[in-house]
Structures are given as structure tokens and as C-alpha cells.
Structure 1
Amino acid sequence: MSTLEIKDLHVSIDTDQGNVPILRGVTLTINTGETHAIMGPNGSGKSTLAATIAGHPRYRVDGGSILLDGEDVLSMSVDERARAGLFLAMQYPVEVPGVTMTNFLRTAKTALDGEAPSLRHWTRDVKKAMGDLRIDADFAQRNVNEGFSGGEKKRVEILQLELFHPRFAILDETDSGLDVDALKIVSEGVNREHAKGGMGTLLITHYTRILRYIKPDFVHVFIAGRIAEQGGPELADRLEEEGYDRFTAVEA
């Protein structure tokens, strides 16, 4: 079992108006085999947490720590974090003109593992994963995310998840912009990887609809850069009924 520990994390960002604190002391522990859902209103710091774990240079860590099995994640470069087993499914996947999906996926897998995968086995695995995610085979020769719809981009993120086998997956609003069919397909992909038993999941979302397909073990409510409440799956149901007003009223 692996453990990702976030301890008293404080993060800020520099803007034209000066330095703005975003995370104000977040503490959270995730073990492989667990699914943690982070919910909260816009601007509460959910995506900042995801970007900080992944190593986005825009965010400044002012205090606290992130440890992966006791190793200091904050001292790692972005590629070192990926090789250590951290994976971020981005809220807004970027287009990469001139780089085909085939080249990107195999190059990334080689960089993660330190050696190129067997071509025969790799081709089989990619074909199966694309089929499971209802990704047309022609997409393998298209440039990464170029001209893809929002749902296609999200499915390609989960394709990477299933091929790279991370220890911890941070899914930043993977459900945004998906219709019901695409949501089910994406959720099935996450559940397939999770069922293998070696992955912990941090699922960031505004809504409970994805939690009907990806069942969380724990739910954490983010308000103004802090965890305001924690609980089990029933907490998500309460949020669906009541919203965040009771938290924001206290914060105000």
C-alpha cells in the first residue's frame, strides 16, 4: 500500500494585484485503494490542490508538505512526480499540434517506466483501452487533442490513466462537459483501473452525478481554501440537497 499525505498545505498565487492566498492549511491522507471526492463551490481551491500536487509552477507553496510514501513530493520536478506514480487528468486538456497520439502515448510510457514497452503487447493494450473507451481507432494517428470535442479529450485523459497505471490519480473535474453516455464511459475506465487495487483516486467535482458511477470512500468539502467538513458518501447526498450555503454563510 502507498500513501499520499498532504499536511497543513498553504498555497498562493502571484497576480497583478499582488500575492493571493488560495489554500489555507489543507491536511488530507489518501491510500491506494481509496477514492476521495473533493467537492466545493467555484474558487474554493480544489483545482489549485490538484495543480500543486502535479507541480504547476504558477502556484507557490508557502507552507506545509506533500509526501508520497515519506518522500518529499515538493522537491521533485514534474517528470519525477509522474515517474513516482502521480497522474493528473486535467480539467482543460491541451492540444499538442504535430504530435500524434501514438507517439505521445508510447513516448510517455517509455519515460515513466524507463524502458520502451514491448511493441506487440503495447499495441494490443492500446487497442483494447481505446475500444473500452469508445475511442475511434483513427484517433491514434491524429495529433493529441487537436480538434477533439470536450468529451473526446476527457476520454483520452482516461486512456492515459489506463495505460500508465499510476499509484495516485488526481481527476480534476473530469465530469465537466460530459453527456450521460460519455460520463458512464469515463467512469467505467476509472473503475477498471481502480479495481486492479493499486491506485488511489482524488476526484474533484462540483456535482454528485459522477459519484453515482465512481463510489467515493470519503468526501471532503472545500470552502475558501480549507476542508470545512469530511464524511462518507452520504455527505455528497446532503450537499446535493442543501448546497454549500451553510458553509459559505459561516465563512462570510
Structure 2
Amino acid sequence: MNIQFIGVGAAFTTPAYYQSNLLITADSGKRLLMDCGTDARFALAELGIDGRTVGNVIDAVYISHLHADHIGGLEWLAFSTFFNPTAPKPHLFIEERMMQQLWECSLRGGLGRIEGRQQTLTDYFNCQPLAAHATFHWEKITFTLIPMLHVDVGSPPHNHYSYGLLLNTADGPRVWISTDTRFEREIIIKTGAVADVIFHDCETTAYNTPVHAHYTELCTLPVEIKQKMWLYHYQPDPIYDPQRDGFQGFVRKGQLFDFSINH
């Protein structure tokens, strides 16, 4: 298994970083796209995957939450695969309550009609709804959803959660990708204790917003957690020195992490 960050930036970023979406490639060679934001088609094109080939290269998509930097490219992906007669229908893994919201609130306006017929989400994807703490399997990789509070609106049923993933293979390391999250110290320490490698959301603005973990907050974590942690989803030109502060570093756009057994 390997993981390549096709982008590492926050929602409002530049082509030097792109938005934080990534490719997970199984030992079989099949690829799962983790989030498909507005920048995804440009980021994928830089890797040689464009609208003509994406359907034959991307086997599955996982969506962590419904902000545009994580779903804004789904219409492009859906049409690119639907109108490619040689492309299999991609699998779509997403937390079950978000699936209807994804269609009704974000995708239906563009994807709901083609010439001569009305469409549903299942016309474009093999939909795989998941429970909030579910474990699912794809290409001999085990994925466990880790809900993280992203936006607190003061009403738990209406709060905006982002569902990170803990990845595990039979003989490889356990890899945790947080996706977008506030600073959730207890969850970080608990999940980080069982993970071998951590990729965590990291805001690097001059001020702390309440919806992302800020670099200065992450610096307060125990040394043994920081030693496992790579930082991503940051703003352009960060001023911090993560290695000096005990982290692995900032993930670079396009950086490939090879966790295959024989690597």
C-alpha cells in the first residue's frame, strides 16, 4: 500500500499546494481517491490522470465530509466515468447520514439530469453507506472510520463531523489520516496510541480558528504522538519548523509514502 498526497493545502490555497486530497494505492494496483475536492482534477492531471483516463484508474472514492475542497470535484468525476464506456462504475464509500446530504444538497443540481432521463447517485457510483464507527474492507486494506468534530453549531445532531480513517493491512503499519478536525486532544492521544503513522490536519494561520487544529495546539501533544505525526491541510508558506518542534514535518504536494511490505 502507498499513499500519495495530490494536495496538502487548506480550502483557500494555491496550485503550489492544492487542496488536501490523496490517493491510496493497494498492492493490487487499484486506487482509492480519498476526497475529491475542487482542485482534484488539476492535481490528478499533474500525475497524468485526466478526465479521459480517470475512470479507468480510480476504482473507489472515500468522502470524509461535505465541504467543497473535499467534494467539489465529484461532479467532474461522476460525468467523466459515466460517459466513458470502458470505465467501471467507481465505488463510493461515505458515512451513511452524509450520503443523502451529498446528493440532495450538493450534487443533484448538476448530476440529476442528463438528456432523456433523470439520474440518481447510484447511476454514477456503487454506493457503500457506512455507519459512523464502521470498519470496511477494500483490496485487503481495512479502514475504520474515526469521527472528528469539525464545525460545532451548538446542536450535536447538526454538528459537522469529518470522518477520518485508520488504515491497516496484514503486515503493514497502522496509518491514521485525521481529515478536517478541530483540536480533539483526547481522540488524538487515544487513536494516535494505536497508530504507527499519523497525518493530521494543521492550520497555520496567524490566528486560531475554532474549526481546525492549529499548529500551536498540536505542539502541546505528548512527544510520543508528535514523533509519529505528519502535518497537512496547512496554509501557503507556513512559518513554522515542524522538525524542530518534534513532528515528522509538513507533507509536500505530491509526496508519496510507501507502506508496502517489501519497501
Q: What TM-score do you get using the length of structure 1 for normalisation?
A: 0.34
Instruction: Between the two structures, name the one with larger relative contact order (CA 8 Å, sep ≥ 6).
Output: 1
Q: What TM-score do you get using the length of structure 2 for normalisation?
A: 0.33
